[in-house]
Structure 1
Amino acid sequence: MYPINILFEDEFYFAIDKPAGLLVHPSPIERRATNAIALIREQMGIKAYTVHRLDRPTSGVLIFAKTSEAANKLNLCFAGRRVQKTYLCVCRGYTEEQGVIDYPLKEIIDKVADKMANPNKPAKDAVSEYRRLGTVELPIPVSKYPAARYSLVEVKPKTGRKHQIRRHLKHIFHPLVGDTQHGDGKHNALFREHFGLDRLLLMATKLEFVHPFTGQAIEINAPVSGWVDQLFTEFGWQGLYPAPTAIDEVQSDRPD
């Protein structure tokens, strides 16, 4: 069972720390899969209005509205790019210390859910800012190399295209660890075999916006899970990311 961990709540909105592997809403492809909308209804007894989404394998800050009016107002903030999102990820190789990826992305068409969509739509603008927080070299051979190198990277996407961070990091030849769609299978296997990894190392750690009703500056933070914290500590990355509290550490990346 996935627990609902509330990060923020007022009379208009609430944000949860979405676990990796949890769908945001029901899917026509995986009708029996657990989703956040249903869990919120079951565990909190309220109806949640979707404002934005996180990919199923991504964990972290996910905000919902309590009314359709509140959803519409915050949706306008997202559409107007007045919401700042911050992500933490691990990617193959050593990235530049910082940079901007300005690379248009074509819409990803789902064969079932989007079967009526036009596959020939032009690519849309997509911009991601990033900075490298840390690096690690593991004495584990991979492919033709005697050791494996990885970067801990903070990313602030300025647009909201599907799989944007995953596709952008792949575009600069630094695919994310644990990404089965856009990643590197050899490095995914290394993490699976040596560290027991069974998730994408991409986490939505912060969401910032001006409250549409109160005008207050809102900042919502999500710590990494206890398991990710242990892995990052092993890599010497302590203090470079939002670590879990004692309560957070009991949370797992895996459902019961």
Structure 2
Amino acid sequence: MTAPNTELEILYQDDYLVAVNKPAGMLVHRSWLDRHETRFVMQTLRDQLGGQHVFPLHRLDKPTSGVLLFALSSEMAAEMMPKFAGREVKKTYHAVVRGWVKEAAVLDYPLKEELDKMSDKRTLQDKAPQEAVTAYRPLARVETPIPVGRYATSRYTLVEMKPETGRKHQLRRHMHHLSHHIIGDVNHGDGRHNRMFREHYDCHRLMLHASALEFFHPVTGLPITIRATVDQSWQGVMLAFQWPLSYLDG
């Protein structure tokens, strides 16, 4: 899925910080891994702000949509980055996963660092697994009459997730560990269910969305909550499953 050639939706902006609703399929910054890509959130936002330099404070994978926060100076970036590392910034995600998640829980399951063959080739290969903690809870469930595999019906759950750590692909890998693969995940998911969503729901994206970011403003000290709405693919799935969009409000 490629991002549409439009301006970014700015969710929050002041003299120090700016947040956008990152589209699925758009890279945050230029990468040799996707050399064919021509649009990036950083460049697009900088142009949108009249040449203002922006400094990303965290990451969202290319196929993930939602709240993405930037600092407007290197000094503010240096002040905010420890807040992310120190778990002072609360993140809320929503996902559609395979199967029925029956109850809320906290998964404490360490993850080995995922390495890119080229960009991480000098990284230590035998590092011990790192702490990875995700709180999750089911919001809605559905059973569809569309068979996938040997079953006559298919079951899915809308899940809210709050990661307490920030490991690479943490949510996707944690849901894989639970056998509740996130729909649209080509690396850690289930291709049969991904294909069914493409064919029956015209959904060609990873069903993972960064819905909200909460933190205390580093200058004013005031509590800030930034929320991002979902795109048409998400809305189409929610409508098909008769799940109200209000389930995503947190």
Tell me if the contact between 2:87 and 2:165 (Cα under 8 Å) persists in the aligned partners: yes
The alignment status of 1:113 with 2:125, answered yes or no, reads no
Aligned residue in 1 for 2:222: 216
Tell me if the contact between 2:201 and 2:236 (Cα under 8 Å) persists in the aligned partners: no
Aligned residue in 2 for 1:141: 147
Aligned residue in 2 for 1:183: 189
Aligned residue in 2 for 1:37: 42
The alignment status of 1:152 with 2:158, answered yes or no, reads yes
Q: Quick one: which of 221, 234, 247 aligns to 1:240?
A: 247
1: CA distance, partners of 2:235 / 2:118? 37
* Structure 1: unaligned runs, 5 residues or longer: 244-256
The alignment status of 1:73 with 2:103, answered yes or no, reads no
How high is the sequence identity, in percent, across the aligned residues?
47
Q: CA RMSD in A?
A: 1.2
The alignment status of 1:94 with 2:100, answered yes or no, reads yes
- Residue correspondences, number: 243
Tell me if the contact between 1:28 and 1:112 (Cα under 8 Å) persists in the aligned partners: no
Tell me the TM-score normalized by structure 2: 0.94
The alignment status of 1:22 with 2:26, answered yes or no, reads yes
Tell me the TM-score normalized by structure 1: 0.92
Aligned residue in 2 for 1:248: none
1: CA distance, partners of 2:111 / 2:6? 32
The one-letter amino acid of 1:184's match is D
Once the two structures are overlaid, the 10-residue window that deviates more, 57-66 or 112-121, is 112-121
Q: Deviations over 1:141-190 (max 9, x none)?
A: 11010000000000000000000000001101100000000000110011
Q: Quick one: which of 54, 61, 67 aligns to 1:55?
A: 61
Tell me the SS of whatever aligns to 1:104: coil
**Matching of residues 196-207 of structure 1 within 5 Å:** 196-207=202-213
* Structure 2: unaligned runs, 5 residues or longer: none
2: CA distance, partners of 1:30 / 1:93? 32
